[in-house]
């Protein structure tokens, strides 16, 4: 069976065909950002040349359609309707010109404190009706506990708008300001992404390609094209996830803690695996200075790469964060870490003589030997990476826990090895190994690691189940589940349902029985005691299908 994986980067679009788990074919094209679809189709066409399309199982795509729309502010006008209620009053700016607040509120238990004012809402509807609004987003505080307010707004606006994002559908996790930002972005990218998806479907059907299309998410998982079209915000910033998943596929790390580095020309991305699974951002990813609830692999990017600008400022060696151009060894003007590695014989350059001369010149200005300069540059680069890894680990290891068990266990993430890809990876590896006192592994083929990562990423699902036996309700916001339960509903039942629903969602995304194995991430049941009337239960269960590789993790 064949899987096509396509990764869109800033300059290149890479494609791979994976055949029975091994790399069969790889292509590289330039991206035309003005016509993303065309770039993808050209890449796909190239990929599928001489390949039997009938054997194509799926097409996995990491796309920048939504990311670019957001960063370049080419998004739809959104009518944003918020019910903020009592509490901290966030100022939501950068949400376009159509932001309205509703009165009324829901409390932390999901009890309706005061319902919305119908007249007030009707007034909003009229104001919006004569405007260029293309989509609506409605978010109320505590909507994952009670979506009534959002549903009421939906009912009133459904006829007039093609798309309405309801905050409760975004995530079952509580964070009103992030839910607002995420819902806004979802509504704002809806039209762009759906236009892209329509064209994609049409083009594929014209080419008689029947394989389903999946879109890579920032959490290293995929979502089918239909799912992505309904929740386009899920497709933002999938680039780092492609890189992380690609490294996982190439390095096949064991189930221990490790650190993955993608050393590019301008930046170095750092990821961590705990027990072999990527560490996530605690709340969600940030895009264009907006904090979202979009689940994402934790990645740290530093302005340090093979082409970073190297110079002395008052005798102090500085590297990056800017890149002035190629290394001298590859036709540039100013020396870079790559030139240092070329001087040390760790890698080969196109113009080694020019590179050596440039390095000697800088060394002469600073009154040191060129060999010493080269070593100093590489050592500095290693120590910058080392420090950043240390900072990130401190952050990860101090993330809050809420149970005595977790606090006493004190699970400390401590990488036992480093994986590295990128242009200068192989050359840098031995130096990094010495600096970090850890084994550093560099895979053979990493030029198309991101496309491999995209190709092999499997669908992921995360759900938050909430049940309240006093109110006799159970909800799974992510799946739109709101059901009545009886008083005897308990944690065991909640876990069973959470696992079943997660698996079911996984199967719907095309996972087989083994791949759709779900796990409980958090589970708690709290006695709610009122007087002597006995206790009800407040139950919370988080379940997931964690990110992994379609070929199975070795």
Partner 1 sequence: MQAKNTLGLILFPAFDWAISPTHPEREERLLYTQDQLLEEGIEDVEGIEFHNPAIALDKDINRVHFCYPDAKTLLTESHYIASGGVMKAFDLVLGGTTDKSFALVRPPGHHAQRVVYGDRGFCIANIEAVGLEYARQKYGDMRVAIVDTDCHHGDGTQDIYWNDPDTLFISFHQDGSTLYPGTGFVDELGGPGAYGCNINIPLPPNTGDQGFQYVLEHTVLTILSEYKPDLIINSAGQDNHYTDPLTNMNFSAQGYAALNHSLNPDIGVLEGGYSIQGALPYVNTGIVLAMAGLDYSGVYEPDYHLGKWKQSDKVTKQVEEIAEAVYQLWQKRKELGARKFGGQKSVKRQRRVYYDTAGIMESQVQEFKVCRNCPGVNSIISQNDQGAKIMGITVPRQACPSCQREGYRLFSEANKAHYNQIYLQDQSKDQYQVRIPTRR
- The residues of the shown chain that bind partner 1, judged by CB under 8 A, are 86-91, 105, 107-109, 111, 113, 141-142, 173-178, 282-283, 291, 398, 400-405, 407-408, 524, 526-529, 535, 538
CB of 526 to partner 1, least distance (A): 4
CB of 105 to partner 1, least distance (A): 7
Please state the length of the chain. 554
Choose between 315 and 400: whose C-beta lies nearer to partner 1: 400
Residue the block writes with tokens 């790559």: 338
Copy the structure tokens of residue 496: 């069973």
Give the helix, strand, coil percentages of the chain, each rounded to 5. 35, 25, 35
Between the alpha carbon of residue 467 and those of residues 108, 230, 297, 520, the distances in Å are 13, 26, 28, 15
CB of 537 to partner 1, least distance (A): 10
Q: What DSSP state is assigned to residue 212?
A: P
Choose between 116 and 449: whose C-beta lies nearer to partner 1: 116
Choose between 19 and 471: whose C-beta lies nearer to partner 1: 471
Choose between 33 and 108: whose C-beta lies nearer to partner 1: 108
3-class DSSP string for 246-278: HHHHHHCCCCCCEEEEEECCCCEEEEEEECCEE
Residue the block writes with tokens 């991430």: 521
57 strand-pairing partners: none
Instruction: Calculate ∠ Cα 29-32-34, nearest 5°.
Output: 165
CB of 114 to partner 1, least distance (A): 8
CB of 288 to partner 1, least distance (A): 15
State phi, psi for 393 to the nearest 5 degrees: -65, -40
CB of 112 to partner 1, least distance (A): 10
E-strand stretches of 9-108:
12-19, 22-30, 56-62, 78-83, 98-101, 105-106
Choose between 312 and 526: whose C-beta lies nearer to partner 1: 526
Choose between 11 and 527: whose C-beta lies nearer to partner 1: 527
Between the alpha carbon of residue 204 and those of residues 35, 36, 325, 419, 437, the distances in Å are 16, 15, 38, 36, 50
CB of 167 to partner 1, least distance (A): 11
CA distance 405 to 531: 30
User: Are the beta carbons of 137 and 167 closer than 8 angstroms?
Assistant: yes
CB of 395 to partner 1, least distance (A): 11
Choose between 63 and 83: whose C-beta lies nearer to partner 1: 83
**Would you tell me how many other CB atoms lie within 10 Å of the CB of residue 530?**
9
Longest dimension (CA), the chain: 87
CB of 386 to partner 1, least distance (A): 23
DSSP SS3 for 332: coil
Copy the structure tokens of residue 320: 């990056």
Choose between 12 and 175: whose C-beta lies nearer to partner 1: 175
**Would you tell me how many other CB atoms lie within 10 Å of the CB of residue 395?**
12
Choose between 144 and 349: whose C-beta lies nearer to partner 1: 144
Residue the block writes with tokens 């260029």: 132
Residue the block writes with tokens 């934790």: 298
CA distance 130 to 128: 5
CB of 399 to partner 1, least distance (A): 8
Residue the block writes with tokens 């995420």: 182
- Per-position DSSP letters for 269-308, written without gaps between them: EEEEEETTEEPBPSS--EETTEE-----B--EEES--TTE
CB of 87 to partner 1, least distance (A): 5
Q: Which helix (H) or strand (E) holds 135?
A: strand 135-140
Choose between 87 and 331: whose C-beta lies nearer to partner 1: 87
Choose between 158 and 529: whose C-beta lies nearer to partner 1: 529
Choose between 180 and 209: whose C-beta lies nearer to partner 1: 180
CB of 541 to partner 1, least distance (A): 13
CB of 144 to partner 1, least distance (A): 9
**Would you tell me how many other CB atoms lie within 10 Å of the CB of residue 520?**
15
CA distance 549 to 451: 13
CA distance 160 to 155: 10
Choose between 266 and 538: whose C-beta lies nearer to partner 1: 538
CB of 290 to partner 1, least distance (A): 11
Choose between 213 and 293: whose C-beta lies nearer to partner 1: 293
């Amino acid at each position: 069976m064949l899987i096509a994986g396509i990764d869109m980067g800033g300059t290149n679009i890479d494609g791979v065909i994976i055949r029975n788990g091994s790399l069969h074919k790889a292509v590289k094209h330039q991206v035309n950002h003005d016509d993303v679809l065309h770039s993808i189709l050209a890449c796909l066409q190239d990929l599928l040349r001489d390949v039997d399309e009938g054997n194509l199982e799926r097409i996995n795509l990491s796309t920048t359609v939504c990311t670019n729309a957001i960063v370049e502010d080419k998004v739809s006008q959104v009518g944003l309707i918020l019910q903020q209620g009592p509490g901290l009053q966030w100022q939501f700016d950068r949400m376009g010109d159509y932001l309205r607040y509703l009165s009324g509120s829901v409390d932390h238990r999901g009890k309706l404190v005061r319902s919305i004012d119908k007249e007030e809402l009707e007034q909003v509807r009229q104001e919006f009706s004569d405007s260029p609004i293309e989509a609506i987003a409605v978010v109320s505080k505590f909507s994952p506990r009670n979506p009534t307010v959002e549903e009421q707004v939906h009912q009133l606006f459904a006829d007039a708008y093609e798309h309405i994002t309801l905050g409760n559908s975004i995530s079952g996790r509580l964070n009103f300001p992030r839910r607002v930002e995420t819902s806004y972005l979802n509504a704002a990218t809806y039209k762009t992404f759906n236009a892209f998806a329509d064209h994609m479907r049409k083009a594929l059907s014209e080419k008689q390609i029947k394989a389903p299309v999946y879109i890579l998410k920032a959490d290293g998982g995929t979502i089918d094209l239909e799912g992505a079209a309904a929740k386009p915000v899920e497709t933002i910033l999938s680039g780092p996830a492609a890189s992380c998943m690609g490294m996982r596929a190439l390095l096949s790390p064991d189930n221990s803690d490790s650190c993955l580095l993608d050393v590019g020309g301008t930046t170095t991305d750092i990821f961590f695996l705990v027990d072999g699974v990527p560490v996530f951002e605690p709340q969600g990813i940030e895009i264009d200075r907006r904090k979202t609830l979009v689940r994402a692999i934790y990645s740290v990017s530093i302005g340090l790469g093979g082409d970073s600008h190297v110079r002395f400022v008052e005798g102090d060696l500085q590297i990056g964060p800017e890149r002035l151009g190629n290394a001298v060894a590859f036709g540039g003007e100013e020396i870079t870490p790559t030139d240092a590695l070329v001087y040390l014989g760790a890698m080969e350059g196109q113009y080694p003589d020019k590179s050596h001369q440039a390095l000697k010149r800088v060394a002469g200005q600073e009154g040191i030997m060129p060999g010493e300069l080269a070593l100093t540059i590489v050592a500095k680069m290693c120590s910058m990476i080392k420090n950043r890894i240390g900072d990130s680990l401190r952050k990860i290891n101090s993330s809050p826990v809420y149970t005595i068990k977790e606090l006493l266990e004190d699970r400390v993430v401590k990488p036992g090895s480093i994986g590295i890809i990128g242009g200068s990876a192989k050359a840098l590896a031995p130096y990094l190994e010495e600096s970090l006192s850890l084994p550093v592994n560099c895979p053979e083929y990493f030029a198309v690691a991101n496309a491999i990562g995209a190709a092999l990423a499997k669908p992921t699902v995360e759900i938050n189940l909430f049940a309240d036996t006093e109110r006799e309700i159970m909800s799974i916001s992510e799946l739109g589940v709101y059901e009545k339960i009886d008083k005897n509903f308990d944690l065991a039942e909640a876990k069973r349902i959470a696992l079943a629903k997660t698996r079911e969602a996984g199967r719907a995304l095309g996972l087989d029985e083994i791949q759709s194995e779900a796990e409980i991430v958090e589970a708690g049941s709290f006695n709610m005691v009122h007087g002597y009337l006995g206790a009800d239960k407040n139950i919370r269960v988080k379940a997931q299908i964690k990110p992994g590789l379609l070929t199975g993790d070795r």
